[in-house]
């Protein structure tokens, strides 16, 4: 049997074990997926090898340590220096990033996206901005404060005071506003004008309808919450774990079911 794990701190809330184990069970893959609370990210490789894992996911706050722990890093993960999935091949640890690709997977059914506004300038915004740009989508960034915008040199960036709402195909909330409170990610007046001119709205937060998504829904805009993003990264990680032995849509079906429990 192959053993997989998610490393994080905290990690007890993670839905990854239930998602992956349901896929393994339903599709007949001889694998088991567990959680590991890791306090020191520098011990990731040692712990991975000691547990004799075949693969792992890495969550907050160890994704950059995971990048450093790998012998080889593949694809988009190399560009952003952030790894959320590791596969053991021979005696080497190979690193991938399925978070941003998972978002692309999640919005695949939303057609005609050429322009995007990302609200927020944290880790998620960085990954999504660069990944959307690879899809030839024109990305602008809007953030509450100036400091975090310095990273986004290749994009047009705005703070609330410098932003003039215009038409975007998609507006993506990557802030944590609305996660534990009823805050909007930007002033109501600004969002009202913005969302009146937008085709789709998505939020990285899952498990609740955020005030941002409520506002978008009130304007009859098709929306997606972060569950699809979570699913997307999980489907792509599972394909790496199982060496693409199963159909993407089958994996998604069993993960979606596990998340609904």
- Identify whether the C-beta of residue 96 lies closer than 8 Å to the C-beta of residue 83: yes
Residues of this chain, 159-178, that bind ligand NDP according to CB under 6 A: 174-177
Helix (H) or strand (E) holding 129: helix 123-134
For ligand NDP, which is the closer residue by CB, 45 or 122?
122
For ligand NDP, which is the closer residue by CB, 94 or 149?
149
Whether the bond between 106 and the residue before it is cis, its omega within 30 degrees of 0, is: no
Q: Given 15, 63, 126, 224, which residue is catalytic? A: 63
Does the footprint of ligand NDP cover residue 17 (CB under 6 A)?
A: no
Q: What ranges make up the beta strands (E) of the chain?
A: 2-8, 31-37, 55-58, 72-73, 85-89, 92-96, 115-119, 138-143, 156-159, 168-173, 198-203, 223-224
For ligand NDP, which is the closer residue by CB, 92 or 222?
222
Nearest-approach distance from CB 123 to ligand NDP, in angstroms = 4
Q: Which one among 30, 111, 136, 145 touches ligand NDP, defined by CB under 6 A?
A: 145
Q: Which span (4-12, 15-23, 47-55, 225-233) binds ligand NDP, by CB under 6 A?
A: 225-233
Q: Which one among 77, 86, 139, 205 touches ligand NDP, defined by CB under 6 A?
A: 205
Phi, psi of 75, deg, nearest 5: 70, -140
Farthest CA pair distance, the chain: 56
* Per-residue CA distances from 135 to 60, 115, 132, 172 (Å): 26, 11, 5, 16
Does the footprint of ligand NDP cover residue 144 (CB under 6 A)?
A: yes
For ligand NDP, which is the closer residue by CB, 22 or 124?
124
For ligand NDP, which is the closer residue by CB, 71 or 183?
183
Does the footprint of ligand NDP cover residue 58 (CB under 6 A)?
A: no
Q: Which one among 69, 230, 255, 258 touches ligand NDP, defined by CB under 6 A?
A: 230
224 is a catalytic site residue: no
How many alpha carbons lie under 13 Å from residue 50 in its C-beta half-sphere?
Answer: 6
Phi, psi of 199, deg, nearest 5: -80, -40
Phi, psi of 2, deg, nearest 5: -90, 140
- Identify whether the C-beta of residue 251 lies closer than 8 Å to the C-beta of residue 239: yes
Q: Which one among 18, 32, 74, 179 touches ligand NDP, defined by CB under 6 A?
A: 179
Residues of this chain, 120-139, that bind ligand NDP according to CB under 6 A: 120-125
Q: Which one among 85, 98, 143, 198 touches ligand NDP, defined by CB under 6 A?
A: 143
Kindly give, in sequence order, each residue whose CB lies less than 8 Å from that of residue 196, ignoring residues fewer than 6 positions away: 219
Which residues have a catalytic role annotated? 63
Which residues here bind ligand NDP, judged by CB under 6 A? 99, 120-125, 143-145, 148, 174-177, 179, 183, 185, 204-206, 226, 229-230, 233
């Amino acid at each position: 049997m192959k053993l997989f794990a998610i490393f994080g701190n905290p990690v007890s809330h993670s839905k990854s074990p239930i998602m992956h184990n349901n896929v393994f069970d339903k599709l007949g893959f001889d694998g088991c997926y567990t959680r590991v609370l890791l306090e020191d990210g520098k011990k990731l490789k040692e712990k991975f090898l000691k547990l004799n894992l075949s693969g792992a996911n890495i969550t907050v706050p160890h994704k950059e340590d995971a990048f450093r722990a790998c012998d080889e890093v593949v694809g988009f993960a190399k560009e952003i220096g952030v790894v959320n999935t590791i596969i053991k091949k021979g005696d080497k640890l190979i690193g991938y990033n399925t978070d941003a690709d998972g978002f692309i997977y999640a919005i695949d059914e939303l057609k005609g996206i050429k322009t995007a506004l990302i609200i927020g300038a944290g880790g998620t915004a960085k990954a999504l901005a660069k990944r959307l740009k690879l899809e030839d989508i024109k990305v602008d960034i809007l953030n509450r404060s100036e400091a975090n915008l310095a990273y986004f040199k290749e994009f047009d960036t705005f703070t609330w005071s410098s932003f003039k709402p215009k038409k975007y195909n998609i507006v993506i909330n990557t802030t944590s506003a609305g996660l534990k409170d009823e805050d909007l990610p930007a002033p109501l007046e600004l969002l009202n004008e913005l969302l009146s001119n937008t085709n789709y709205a998505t939020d990285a937060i899952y498990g609740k309808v955020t005030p941002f998504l409520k506002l978008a829904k009130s304007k009859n805009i098709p929306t997606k919450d972060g569950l699809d993003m979570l699913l997307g990264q999980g489907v792509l990680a599972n394909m790496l774990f199982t060496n693409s032995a199963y159909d993407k849509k089958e994996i998604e079906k069993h993960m979606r079911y596990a998340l609904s429990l």
